[in-house]
Amino acid sequence: MMLRRTFMNARRKISSTFRNQKRRFAKPAERDTKERKDIRLYLETADRSEWANLLPLGIFHGINTNPLLLQQAGISHTAPTYPELRDLVRTAVDTYEVNEIFIQAWGTTKEELVRTGLNARMFDRHVVVALPFTFEGTQAAAELIERGASVCMANSHAQKQALLASALQADYFSPCISSINESGEDAIEQCMQMQKALSGVNSEIRIMAASLKSADEVVELAKAGIKTFSVSPQVAYELAYQPLTTKEADECERITQGLMVESKQ
């Protein structure tokens, strides 16, 4: 909370001259010409207040959600039209013009996962359907990919799953960093080996590291060759705020203000 407050104070200082200007975000078609030097950051939250704070930084390729995050944001799945989920997607796409928003399909059978995945996809073409890496989830992914959906194999933990996701021709493979660490494995090493395995078969699938605990983990994973990250608001604030930089910026501003002399009338 302290980090968020400090960041917001710094942001208010920097953006004070632009408060009355409407925020603009590059449209997906415009961003196709600049792929952000191959790195992609996703904001891992369904909290629209955090979207308002962090998406204007201009560093995020999109938004990543999951059932827990939707529950925390009070978003319910009300059949048959799912109005709250649809409104969430529309806000992400229309207001913030994100490139992608991840929505996890729900159900326990292949048929249910395909049906709910298609429902999510129909909200907007920018939706990436996330699926659990179960037997049924893998079957559903194959059908959704065949139907033209963008797919992420989520909640992944093992190197062999990276190869399976590549064989499926999924767009993303998402290892859960915190779960891997909690199991006693070294998540950084595991991701390094996943990346090596995928490079060995010339796969174009993106490993999206999710459930990260700190900005340091992002840096270490980047050193291991990972280029796609899903970060919580807390990690995002940590990435954006550097105390020494803020201190020097404040000092430069203080000096600049002292140099400013009002013109004589």
**Bigger pLDDT: 135 vs 26:** 135
pLDDT score recorded for residue 22? 40
End-to-end Cα separation, the chain, in angstroms: 47
Amino acid in the structure at residue 48 = R
Would you say residue 82 has pLDDT above 80? yes
Q: pLDDT tens digits for 242-265?
A: 888 888 888 998 898 888 866 555
Of all residues in the chain, what percent are helix, strand and coil, respectively (each to 5)?
Answer: 55, 15, 30
CA dist., res. 194 & res. 211, Å (int): 17
Q: pLDDT tens digits for 52-64?
A: 999 999 999 999 9
DSSP secondary-structure letter at 95? I
C-beta of residue 148 within 8 angstroms of C-beta of residue 134:
no
Q: pLDDT tens digits for 93-143?
A: 999 999 999 999 999 999 999 999 999 999 999 999 999 999 999 999 999
CA dist., res. 37 & res. 16, Å (int): 29
CA dist., res. 44 & res. 46, Å (int): 7
pLDDT score recorded for residue 37? 53
What's the token pair of residue 158?
A: 């093992």
pTM for the model: 0.84
Quick one: pLDDT band at residue 174, thresholds 50, 70, 90?
very high
Average pLDDT, the chain: 88
